[in-house]
Each structure stands twice: as C-alpha cells, then as structure tokens.
Amino acid sequence: MVSLSCGLILLATVLTAGVALQRSFAAVEGYSVAEGDQLRVQDYIAMDCRRAVGGAVANNTLTLTIPTYYDANNNPVDPTHPAGGSIQYGAGTIPISYYQSGTRFIRQVNGVESAIATNVDSFTVTPQDLTSSVTCSVTFAPRFTTLANPGPINGTTVFSNTFLRNAVARQ
C-alpha cells in the first residue's frame, strides 16, 4: 500500500513535471517561431528597400520597384548608365509589394504572391517621402497564451526604418 502510494505520488510528480516542461517548451517554441517571423519580415523589407529604385504606398500596401537584374536564366545582367539617366539593369523594373491578407503577410513579386509570415495581426506602412526611407510596423498576434483570446496580452510589434539607398544615390 505504501509503495503503491509512493509510486502514484512519483508518477503524479513526473506527469506534472512533464506537463510543465511541455508548457515551457511550447512557450519557447512560440517565441522561436515568432522571432523567426519577425526577423524574416524585417529582413525581406530591408533587402528590398535597399535595392529598390522607387517606392509607393497606397491602401496600406508598400510597393517597391527593383531593377530587372536577372536575365531569363536568372543570371545577372550588366548595368548600363545612359546619359542624364540612372543606372539601368535590363528592361523595365520588377514590382514587389508587401501587404497583409488575413493573418498572413504577403510578399508579391511581379504578381506572384507568397506568404512570408503568418499570425500577423496588423501591418502599417507609414507614407514617407520615399526618397530616403520607409517605415513599416508589423504586429504579430501572441502565439503562446493561456487565454482563449489574446485578450489583455499585447501582440509584438516590430518596426523597420530602412534607408532607400538607390533613392539618394548619386547619378
């Protein structure tokens, strides 16, 4: 009887510890995924802003245009510099848009959508002069919560302010 009781207590302790560890693991996992989402969104926007030759903001959508740097085989092309103009790669430009679609954060390249983050609560791109920098903020809903809804737990908002290098490049 005594040994059975001890065994049950030990088992209960192990189960409780296991559940606690799982909760801790879930929290860490949620944090890891959230960090990954945030870094990915910022890295994408930063990379495209830095190489953009133009930008526009409309309906909370950030649209950047980047040079047609690649040929049909995805190999880099040589630049040209026409008199009185700016550096050119290939013909035309490639539009890249960022916007929120439901809980997904979308990066659209030349009309082709791909989600680059999920669990997005809101996206705000601040209309800027677009000749120097772009400011964006993305709020992610909490991934780990004991409540049914986010409720009083705030989401995480990440800000990015990226210098548009080509907009201020010398010609």
The residue ranges that bind another protein (CB under 8 A) are 7, 11, 14-15, 18, 21-22, 25, 28-29, 32-33, 35-37, 39-40, 43-44, 47, 50-51, 66-67, 69-70, 73-76, 78-81, 83-87, 89, 94, 96, 109-110, 114-117, 128-129, 131-133, 163, 165-171
What whole-number distance in Å separates Cα of residue 29 and Cα of residue 34? 8
Q: Reduced to 3 states, what is the DSSP secondary structure of residue 51?
A: helix
Beta strands in the chain (DSSP E): 54-58, 61-67, 79-80, 88-89, 93-101, 104-109, 112-117, 120-126, 133-140, 156-163
Q: How far is the CB of 149 from another protein (least distance, A)?
A: 25
Closest to another protein by CB, 91 or 170: 170
Closest to another protein by CB, 149 or 171: 171
What whole-number distance in Å separates Cα of residue 36 and Cα of residue 31? 8
Q: Is 34 exposed, middle or buried (0-12, 13-18, 19+ CB in 10 A)?
A: buried
Closest to another protein by CB, 70 or 157: 70
Q: How far is the CB of 133 from another protein (least distance, A)?
A: 7
Closest to another protein by CB, 13 or 157: 13
